[in-house]
Amino acid sequence: MRPEPTAEFRHRTVEAPAGRIHLVEQGTGPLVLLVHGFPESWYSWRRQLPALAAAGYRAAAIDVRGYGRSSRPAATDAYRMLDLVEDNLAVVRALGEESAVVIGHDWGSNIAAASALLHPAVFRAVGLLSVPYAPPGGPRPTDVFSRIGGAEQEFYVSYFQEPGRAEAEIEPDVRGWLAGFYAALSADTMPAEGDPDPHFVAHGGRLRDRFPAGELPAWLSEDELDVYAAEFERTGLTGALNRYRNMDRDWEDLAPHRGAPIEQPSLFVGGTLDASTTWMADAVDAHPRTLPGLSASHLPEGCGHWIQQERPDEVNRLLTDWLRTLQD
């Protein structure tokens, strides 16, 4: 599998609270803003940009602050959710639009949801991939994550909290780490049931100790891995990891919106083999209440975490079919 031709991709940077946000766009029509997750970039949407453009939309995939060619503020607390939402607002305005449909994957799903929750007049509909919507509230996040795993292992979110700790594991071999991380969460290469779970770290160990060794997942070529690796070798991982280091700040910042539903039209798509979807099954079940504008929840069988890359044709069909309903 080779990377898709990028001749029609238009790269640009726009001013935003982060400093600058880099984005790649294709097509003309109503704006669809695409927001990636960890550890990815605009390139995660390379197979959606042409499909959305062909369907009559102006698709714009951003590098979230801290990633790629976007600005990387030095302060850890510059990566709180409120700041990322403001970046999305700035992108819409810089593109000369008054509103957009926002679609996110992984952390991008949370960012898209928060954008829709806080600015419903701008983000008129929201699509969530892999991570379902859970309204703000509940116990403090780091308290919850610190209890997951028990005495023998540590949950990866807790592992990511201390500045520099995960960077020390990843940055000496960015390409190898990314290959293992992508494989660990892909349907065709993830560890078999009963093997050590790669979402956890043995005390004194590394996250990569539980990554599968061997070939890349079917959706990822060596050339495509090179694209991801080159970006993170240049930028490092701190900006990306700082998203995890602001979960408690987000919990405090969003306290006024505890329990709040998102009223706009919405869509959820999550793979049946994706822990981000299955661990949050209760949130998916609650979508009729928390996402009253939900069109549908789609759960592709046998699909892992990198859903729009593992199942591009299926995801493209689901997205374009849903987007058409917004114009009826």
What DSSP string runs through 259-270? TPPP-S-EEEE-
How far apart CA 85 and CA 87 sit, in angstroms, is 5
* Distance separating alpha carbons of residues 226 and 304, to the nearest angstrom: 21
Query: Domain limits at 44?
Result: 10-326
Which residue type does 108 have? G
Summarize the confidence of residues 290-294 as an average pLDDT.
Answer: 98
Answer whether residue 2 is part of any domain.
Answer: no
What would the mean pLDDT of 136-145 be, rounded to a whole number?
A: 95
Please state, in angstroms and rounded to a whole number, the distance separating the CA atoms of residues 292 and 260. Answer: 11
Instruction: Please state, in angstroms and rounded to a whole number, the distance separating the CA atoms of residues 29 and 24.
Output: 15
Is the model's pLDDT at 106 over the cut of 70?
yes
Confidence of residue 152 (pLDDT cuts 50, 70, 90): confident
Residue 96 falls inside a structural domain: yes
pLDDT band at 4 (very low <50, low <70, confident <90, very high): very low
1 has a pLDDT exceeding 50:
no
Domain membership of residue 37 (yes or no) is yes
pLDDT digits (tens, 9 = 90+) for 164-205: 999 999 999 999 999 999 999 999 999 998 899 999 999 889
How do residues 59-82 score in pLDDT, each as one tens digit?
Answer: 999 999 999 999 999 999 999 999
Whether 153 is covered by a domain: the verdict is: yes
Q: 197-233 pLDDT, tens per residue?
A: 999 999 889 999 999 988 899 999 999 999 999 999 9
Non-local (6+) Cβ contacts of 50 within 8 A are: 4, 8, 26
Q: How far apart are CA 112 and CA 34, in angstroms?
A: 9
Query: For the chain, how many structural domains are there in total?
Result: 1
Confidence of residue 7 (pLDDT cuts 50, 70, 90): low
Q: What is the pLDDT of residue 91?
A: 98
Within a domain: residue 1? no
Residue 305 falls in the annotated catalytic set: yes
- CB 73, CB 79: distance < 8 Å: yes
Report the alpha-carbon distance of residue 290 to residue 118 in Å, rounded. 14
Q: Which residues contact 19 (CB under 8 A, 6 or more apart)?
A: 65, 70, 71, 73
Task: Give the SS3 label for residue 190.
Answer: coil
What is the C-alpha to C-alpha distance for residues 274 and 84, in angstroms, rounded to an integer?
A: 25
Tokens 């983000």 belong to 123
Give the whole-angstrom CA distance, residue 135 versus residue 138.
9
pLDDT band at 328 (very low <50, low <70, confident <90, very high): low
SS3 109: helix
Any idea what the CATH number is for the domain that residue 281 is in? 3.40.50.1820
For range 291-313, the mean pLDDT: 97
Enumerate helices (H) and strands (E) in the chain, giving the number of each. 15, 10
Catalytic one of 63, 83, 106, 274: 106
**What pLDDT band is residue 2 in, cutting at 50, 70 and 90?**
very low
The catalytic position among 22, 36, 199, 305 is 305
Per DSSP, the three-state class of 125 is strand
Structure tokens at 266: 């919405």
- Percentages of the chain per state (helix, strand, coil), in multiples of 5: 40, 15, 40
Half-sphere exposure of 42 (CA within 13 A, CB side): 23
- Judge whether residue 28 has pLDDT over 90: yes
3-state secondary structure of 96: coil
* Residue 167 to residue 198: CA distance in whole angstroms: 17
Q: How far apart are CA 326 and CA 318, in angstroms?
A: 13
Could you give phi then psi for residue 201, rounded to 5 degrees? Answer: -120, 125
> What is the rounded average pLDDT of the residues 6-26?
92
Q: 76 or 149, which is more confident?
A: 76
Active site residue 106: yes
pLDDT at 89 over 90: yes
Residue 3 belongs to some domain of the structure: no
Backbone conformation region of residue 96, classed left if phi is above 0, alpha if psi is from -120 to 50, else beta: left
Query: Does 14 map to a domain?
Result: yes
**Measured distance CA(52)–CA(283) in Å, rounded:** 28
Report if residue 149 sits inside a domain.
yes
